[in-house]
Amino acid sequence: MFFIGGLIIGAIIASTLLKNPAPMQVAAPTMEVLQGYGITEHQGLLPAQIFTWQNVFTLKGLIFFVIGGFLVGFGTRYAGVVLQVIRLRAWLCCNGHL
């Protein structure tokens, strides 16, 4: 319950106090690459050509959201395992002389 409350309070703080009214700045080479992919809107954080409800139910949306979500999830889990091994090695290096 405290976790959900913290999420809500953090979202309110981020959307009101930490809001940046300046337009999003995208580097020119990045804009050229994105235009090659068919993404021409650079006004916000999420391009409308990708993140719309109509794209969710297409093949591109399936690949982008579902398979991409699995890759992010498994990558996060793999990174956690790697960090645990690195921590163990670091602990052994620091305390191995005892």
| pLDDT at residue number 53 | 84
| pLDDT at residue number 83 | 64
Residuewise pLDDT in 10s, the chain (98 residues)? 888 999 899 989 988 888 888 877 888 998 899 889 888 887 777 887 878 888 888 888 888 888 888 888 888 877 776 666 677 666 666 666 55
| pLDDT at residue number 5 | 92
Contact (Cβ atoms closer than 8 angstroms) between residue 31 and residue 42: yes
Domain boundaries defined on the chain: 1-51, 52-98
Residue with tokens 């602990």: 91
